[in-house]
Amino acid sequence: MFAVSAPDNQSPTPESVDAMTQAALGELDAVSDAPAAEDWRVSYLGRRGQLTMLLRGLSGLDPDLRRAVGARANQAKSTLEEALARRTRELAQAALEASGRLDVTLPGRPVIAGRLHPTTQIVREICSAFMAMGFSVVEGPEVELDHYNFEMLNIPAGHPARDMWNSLWIDYRNEQGQQPMLLRTHTSPMQARVMEAQEPPVRVIVPGKCYRYEATDATHEWHFYQIEGLAVAEGITFADLKGTLYEFARRVFGDDRQIRFRCDYFPFVEPGVDMSISNFRDPTTGQRPINRDEDWIEIMGAGMVHPKVLAGVGYDPQRYTGFAFGMGPERIGMLKYGIDDIRHFYSNDVRFLRQF
Ligand code: PHE
C-alpha cells in the first residue's frame, strides 16, 4: 500500500520531496479509520518513516542540495502533520455522527436565560401590593382623546394647568372630525373611563405607559410608566388615602424607609398632595447614588377626587367621595434598588438588565 523509500543510490531532490508529499496526502485522503491513520503516520512520520529517513540522510548531501532539500522536507513535515491532525478530527467527527451518540465530554454551550425587564418586575410587584388590598387591575389606551386626558379631569382647553403636561399631539382627527388626540401624558384619563363604565364602589389600579414632550435627565424620561389608583365609595376620607399609601410603601420598601406627604396641586383632586420616599443610601458606602443632595424623592401625586370629576361622570358628589393617586414605577425601582439614572430602564444594556 505504501511507497517504498527511495533507493540509497538515488539522492533526493526538492522535486522528489514534493512528489512524496503529494503521494502521502493522496493516501491520507483514502484513510478511513483511526488504525489506518496510525499506519500512515508510521510510514511517513514514524521513526523509520520515509520523511524521517530523508531528513536523517541530509547530512550526506552536498551543501547546496542539502539546503534546498532540507527546507522542502521541513515544510513537508509540517504539511503532513497538519493534514494528519485535520484528518484525525474528521474521522472522529464522522465516527461520532455514525454512532448517533452525543459527546458528553464536550464543554456545553451556555444557555442565557431570559428574565423579566426590571420595569415589568416592579410594575407587577406594585400591582400585587394593591391587589392584596382589594384593588383590581385595568388597562387603557395609550393614544387618548383630549376629552379624557384633560377635559374630564377638570382641565379645560386654555386652563393654565395644561402646562403641567407637555403633550405629544397626534395629527389625526377621528370620525367626528373635531376630537384632538394625543399620547396620554398620565394614566389619570382612566379615572374617568372607569367611572363612566361602572357604578361605585370603585377600587382599581391602572398600570401603563405615558408620554411627555420633555427633555430627559437622570430622573425624567419622555416615556415612562405610571400606575394610577382610584377608590370611590360612600364615606372615603383622606385618612383612607394615607392609610392605603402607607401600607403600599411598607409592602414595597419595607419598614425602614420613611414617607412624607406635602400639599400639591392637581386640577382633578382637592386637596392634592405629593408623596416622597426617603432617598436611597448605599448600605456599604452610606452615599446616595440618586440626586445626591436630596433627602426625599417624589414618587407620586395623589388627592381626594375633585367633586367636578365625580359629577362629570354622573356620580353624585354629595354621596360619594374617593381618592386617586398616580405613581412612577421606574422612580420607585430606582429608589428601591439604588439605580442612579432612569434612562437605564430604556437603554437595553444587558449588563444592567442582568442584575435583576
Ligand atoms: N396624573 C398626575 C401626574 O401625572 C398624578 C396624579 C394622579 C395626581 C392622581 C393626583 C391624582 O402628575
Say whether 226 is catalytic: yes
User: What is the band of 173 on the pLDDT scale with cuts at 50, 70, 90?
Assistant: low
Among protein residues, the one whose CA lies closest to atom 8 of ligand 1: 301
Q: What are phi and psi of 182, to 5 degrees?
A: -150, 165
Own/partner long-range contacts of 72-75 (Cβ < 8 Å, ≥24 apart): 72/14, 72/17, 72/18, 73/12, 73/17
Q: Which residues lie below 8 Å from residue 268, measured CB to CB, with a gap of 6+?
A: 153, 154, 155, 188, 191, 303, 305, 306, 309, 324
24, 165, 192, 194: which one is catalytic? 165
Residue pair 43/101 in contact (Cβ under 8 Å)? The answer is: no
Residue 198 corresponds to which cell in the numbers above? 361602572
Residue pair 165/212 in contact (Cβ under 8 Å)? The answer is: yes
In this prediction, residue 177 carries a pLDDT of 62
Say whether 162 is catalytic: no
Q: What are phi and psi of 40, to 5 degrees?
A: -60, -45
pLDDT digits (tens, 9 = 90+) for 183-240: 999 999 999 999 999 999 999 999 999 999 888 888 889 999 999 999 999 999 999 9
User: What is the band of 145 on the pLDDT scale with cuts at 50, 70, 90?
Assistant: very high
- Read off the pTM: 0.69
Is the pLDDT at 15 greater than 60? The verdict is yes
Average pLDDT over residues 143-166: 87
pLDDT digits (tens, 9 = 90+) for 278-335: 888 888 888 887 777 788 989 999 999 999 999 999 999 999 999 999 999 999 998 8
Say whether 269 is catalytic: yes
Among protein residues, the one whose CA lies closest to atom 12 of ligand 1: 301
Average pLDDT over residues 48-66: 88
Among protein residues, the one whose CA lies closest to atom 4 of ligand 1: 186
User: What is the band of 94 on the pLDDT scale with cuts at 50, 70, 90?
Assistant: confident
Q: How far apart are the first and last CA of the chain?
A: 65
Instruction: Ligand 1 pocket test: pick from 154, 223, 266, 269 the residue with the most ligand atoms within 8 Å of its Cβ.
Output: 266
